[in-house]
Amino acid sequence: MPEARGRKSIFITGAASGIGAETARLFANRGWFIGLYDINETGLADMQEEIGPDNCITGNLDVRDRKQWHAAVASFADATEKRMNVLFNNAGIAETGWFEDIRPEMADAIVDINLKGVINGVYACLPLLKETAGARIVNTASSAGLAGTPRLSVYSATKFAVRGLTESLNLELADEDIYVTSLTPWFIDTPILDSGAVAGANRSGKDSLLDNGVPVYPVSMAAERAWEAAHGRATHYLVGKAAQRMSFASRFLPGSVRKRLRKSLPKRGLQN
């Protein structure tokens, strides 16, 4: 089994692609030992080969399953001498569409992965985090958690909840020397952008956003902000200028945000 051997360690969910994978690359390049966890076993194997088998440990983890969480954390603990410097609760899914067009089963999955998965992770990892001086929890939220986002309603609700959970846990765990932060990205160039793409269409979710003048930021920007979230003293780390503008406007100009979001909506029955 690979071992941390004194290196700082980070446990990453959703590590096989997107923000999780890019964050794993960045932390590994800076000398950290990486725990890579996902349901995508092929992606995990690719990441293990890229980072190097001596620099990481991998495991299949459905964040909805508490038993899988405890098994994953136990193997991570064996590799790190029961230490965990950072828990990166990053796994998430989305589906774009009118509320009534999102299947209830899909809505359940979004809540279970995006919110309950984060809660499960905190429960499972707290013992290791408490054993590690200056430990961190970084939860991936979203700019959709800054203002209610139509056609992403359930996803938006989960990300509001993640931000609230982050703020409350940051206060609650302060006396345990555990700092809790969130990563709050705007649209990032990852596979999740195609959650609302039309099957068989030649245009990706990213293409549709860019066609409508919506910025899409590189995944490397999110990884750099994840590094800052693991080391800085802010509670929320926004990714991209558009996220910063949304944060400001949602606090001080909420009416203009609602008006802009309503104006951006397509008519029902029409695809973006």
86: three-class secondary structure by DSSP: strand
Note the pLDDT of residue 201: 44
1 part of a folded domain: no
134 part of a folded domain: yes
Largest CA distance in the chain: 57
Residue 155 designated active-site? yes
Note the pLDDT of residue 213: 62
271 part of a folded domain: no
pLDDT string in tens for the chain (272-residue length): 899 999 999 999 999 999 999 999 999 999 999 999 999 999 999 999 999 999 999 999 999 999 999 999 999 999 999 999 999 999 999 999 999 999 999 999 999 999 999 999 999 999 999 999 999 999 999 999 999 999 999 999 999 999 999 999 999 999 999 999 999 998 898 776 665 544 444 445 555 555 556 778 899 999 999 999 999 999 999 999 989 998 988 888 788 878 888 887 787 765 54
Contact between 143 and 242 (Cβ < 8 Å): yes
160 part of a folded domain: yes
CA distances from 92 to 180, 192, 236 (A): 18, 9, 18
Phi first, then psi, for residue 105 (nearest 5°) are -65, -35
30 part of a folded domain: yes
34 part of a folded domain: yes
Count of structural domains, the chain = 1
269 part of a folded domain: no
Instruction: Return the exposure string of 145-180: e unless at least 16 CB atoms fall within 10 Å of the residue's CB, then b.
Output: bbbbbbbbbbbbbbbbbbbebbeebbeebeeeebbb
CATH code at position 166? 3.40.50.720
What does 152-184 look like in DSSP terms, one character per residue?
-HHHHHHHHHHHHHHHHHHHHTGGGTEEEEEEE
2 part of a folded domain: no
CA–CA distance, 191 with 200 (Å, rounded to integer): 16
User: Model-level pTM?
Assistant: 0.91
Note the pLDDT of residue 198: 43
Catalytic residue among 37, 155, 179, 217: 155
Domain containing 144 equals: 9-264
Note the pLDDT of residue 121: 98
Instruction: Return the exposure string of 228-243: e unless at least 16 CB atoms fall within 10 Å of the residue's CB, then b.
Output: ebbeeeebbbbbbebb
CA–CA distance, 208 with 203 (Å, rounded to integer): 7
Phi first, then psi, for residue 204 (nearest 5°) are -85, 170
266: three-class secondary structure by DSSP: coil
